[in-house]
Amino acid sequence: MKKQQYKLTSRGVQLFQNRLAKARMDHQKICDERTVAHELSGDGWHDNPFFNYLQQMEANKTWRINEIENILSNAKRIVVEEGSRPTFQVDIGSVVLVEVIDENNEDGEKDLRLIEIVGFEESVPDLGMISYTAPFAAALLGMSEGESKETFLPQGKVILDIVEFFATHPGMEEESQTDIVSLGVTVEFRINGQEAQIHKVKNASHAISSAILGMREGDVQDVFVNGEQVKVEIIRVQRKIATVA
């Protein structure tokens, strides 16, 4: 049976490496808890529901670790560079303006969407980052500028029109206020309660950028950076921070 080949950008590789680190950490924690449960149970471990639960959790986590390792070992690496994103046809890395016409709506309502096609399980819907495996992205793959296509999506029958491609993500050039971490923003944040730092999100594959992409001002989350779990607090998000001469 032919193995499934996954397609990952540099950011996707980092995401899965961090997911693997978390899964291994969770697995070790479960194993430690199972050992304690076994010791406390004495000869009655086989009648201990909590011990049996931990055994199942350990098996599930082992399966997840194997799954992630398989994805990483079989992944095709896709290089995406700003200024050289695919613009001939929609492909992984493309940033495209799409007009969606919902044929289920009597008024023929039109919706313009800026979409970035990303790798396997790399989606951040709030940022318009959609995995190539998602129905919407899969329908766009291979389309060219000016092309129109009628297709079926989970919400029903739609018409997709490719309006424009972008070799550079528009977020790298816009100057506007936002509260969500995306390409082109400058972020003030803290790691593990330490002194605040400033970071410019220029490349989604950067370790810090990848970990905080999609977070919002005020968010405090445990994330993985280069395989290490840290607590990140987002203090401020801006497109551009003005400087005084």
Whether residue 108 sits in one domain with residue 73: no
Whether residue 175 sits in one domain with residue 162: no
Q: What CATH number is attached to the domain comprising 176?
A: 3.10.50
Last residue of a domain, one of 166, 185, 210: 166
**Cα separations in angstroms, 19 against 45, 68, 180, 243:** 31, 8, 22, 38
Last residue of a domain, one of 78, 105, 130: 78
**In terms of pLDDT, which residue wins out, 74 or 104?**
74
Q: Residue 68 and residue 78: Cα distance in Å, rounded? A: 18
Q: Note the pLDDT of residue 242.
A: 41
For residue 85, tell me if it sits in a domain.
no
Start-to-end C-alpha separation, the chain: 64
For residue 1, tell me if it sits in a domain.
no
Q: Note the pLDDT of residue 12.
A: 92
At CA 79, angle to CA 77 and CA 83, rounded to 5? 165
Q: Note the pLDDT of residue 244.
A: 33
Range of the domain at 101: 95-166
Q: Note the pLDDT of residue 3.
A: 66
In the chain, DSSP assigns E strands to 7-9, 76-78, 95-102, 110-118, 129-131, 148-153, 156-166, 186-191, 197-200, 220-225, 228-238
**In terms of pLDDT, which residue wins out, 50 or 93?**
93
Q: In the predicted model, is pLDDT for residue 24 greater than 60?
A: yes
Single-letter amino acid code for the residue at 140:
L
**3-state secondary structure at position 234:** strand
The whole-chain average pLDDT of the chain stands at: 86
pTM of the model: 0.79
Q: In the predicted model, is pLDDT for residue 111 greater than 90?
A: no
Q: What CATH number is attached to the domain comprising 116?
A: 3.10.50.30
Structural domain tally of the chain? 3
Go through 159-191 and write b for each residue having 16 or more CB atoms within 10 A of its CB, e for each that does not. Answer: ebbbeebbeebebbeeeeeeebbbbbbbbbbbb
**In terms of pLDDT, which residue wins out, 237 or 143?**
143
